[in-house]
Amino acid sequence: MEFPRFTFNPKEGIDNPALVITDDPEPDYSLVPTLCHLKRLPGQNFGFHLQKDQSNPGFEVRDVETCSPAMRGGLKDGDRLLEVNEEYVDNMDFMRVVRKIQSCTLHVFLLVLRRSDYEQAVSAGMDMQALAKASKGDYWSRPRLCHISRNVSHGLGMSIFSLQGQKGCYFVSTVADGPAEEAGVRSGDRLIWINGVMVSCLTRSFLSRTVKKSRDSVTVLVIDSESERCYARRKIPILPILAECCRLPYATKTMHLLKGEDGYGFLLRQEKLAVTQCIVHVLREVDVGSPAEESGMEDGDLLLAVNGEPVESMEHDNVVKAIRKSGHKVTLTTIPLAGGQFYRELGIPPLLFHDRWTFQDDRWQTDPHIAENQRETPGLNGDGCPTYPRLYIQDEEALKTNQQL
């Protein structure tokens, strides 16, 4: 039996009709996400609503206000949110995304797909995360916020140098296996920021004095050269809100409390810090064996949030009311007193890197339908404490019952 002869012409392709070759579909790079940098002044809100889409996964931007930071930043009604501050959020819990935006100060970076592009991508079964990553470039990585502790052998384990003719441009050389490398700094990294100050405006001598004055530790923001070029190409300033955290010495803690027969078992006091004169809400007199102690509460911790709502800038009476209104259960977010001081000296809100919000847990679910809009001034209030934005949150059920948000 003779079989038909198979021939291949590279110009015409395969001439055997019985043979079909298929490849996995590749992302359609004609669908390019839009990066929106929202910048606001003290007293402003970002000026948009965020809505959870019940028919599709993901989050939709709605009601962008005229002349708002959102509109000036390029945000449009119907945009679908992919990333917040360079972190993919399309598959995250809704309230976690909201809190990530709330914890920002005067800047937030939102990567979005226009509505028509999003619908096209969904119908084509495209990988949204791959699409978002492709928009950054092949060698992109986030900047790193690193806390370096001195040791006796190597000190900080790094030296800072500049290139001739490049004013305000500093790089880092590290000692192998030294404190800087252990903290996440790599030799050749560009130094962006040290102890809360951008180094581009510092002279070499002033920078050296800053490092010497730092005593036991320094906190630096660094980035590799390839990634720096990616940020320059995308015209994005390199800021701490975009960073990956490396060995920061303090972290926030979230505690779930169920009220006992004698209450929660702690006292909330308003105190003024001796050094900064900042007014804070402090957890005191934690009762032995109480729900508070069992949840991990420690005397002297600073209260940052109640049921996910930032409270540092709230009046003390309103914080107490928020806890009482919560009923027989409450979720509290705290940080040690020294941790609050650490972030305050760096000019970073302590909630910025806290995104373990557990609002969708059955035991701790809060009302997802509505939250207040961003009316509070971010940054520092009159007492020197951080204030946090508020954001309109909507889902489809809320829109059916309440149009004015």
Q: pLDDT in tens for each of the 405 residues of the chain?
A: 555 554 555 555 545 444 445 454 455 557 889 999 999 886 678 999 999 877 777 899 999 999 999 999 999 999 999 999 999 998 888 888 888 887 887 889 999 999 999 999 988 989 999 999 998 888 889 999 999 999 988 899 999 998 877 788 999 999 999 999 999 999 999 999 999 899 998 888 899 888 888 888 999 999 999 999 999 999 999 999 999 988 889 989 999 999 998 899 999 999 887 766 788 899 999 999 999 999 999 999 999 999 988 888 888 999 999 999 988 999 999 999 999 989 888 888 888 887 643 333 333 333 333 333 333 333 444 444 444 444 444 443 443 222 221
62, 49 contact by CB (below 8 A): yes
pLDDT at res. 86:
92
Q: Which residue is associated with the tokens 């699409």?
A: 131
Within 8 A by CB and 6+ apart from 143, the residues are 192, 221, 222, 223, 227, 238, 242, 243, 244
Which alpha helices (DSSP H) does 103-221 contain, by range? 115-123, 128-134, 179-182, 204-213
pLDDT at res. 12:
52
pTM over 0.85: no
57, 8 contact by CB (below 8 A): no
pLDDT at res. 154:
87
Q: Which residue is associated with the tokens 């928009």?
A: 135
Query: 3-class SS at 96?
Result: helix
Q: What is the largest CA-CA distance in the chain?
A: 98
Output the six-digit token pair for 369: 């339908």
Burial of 44 (0-12, 13-18, 19+ CB in 10 A): middle
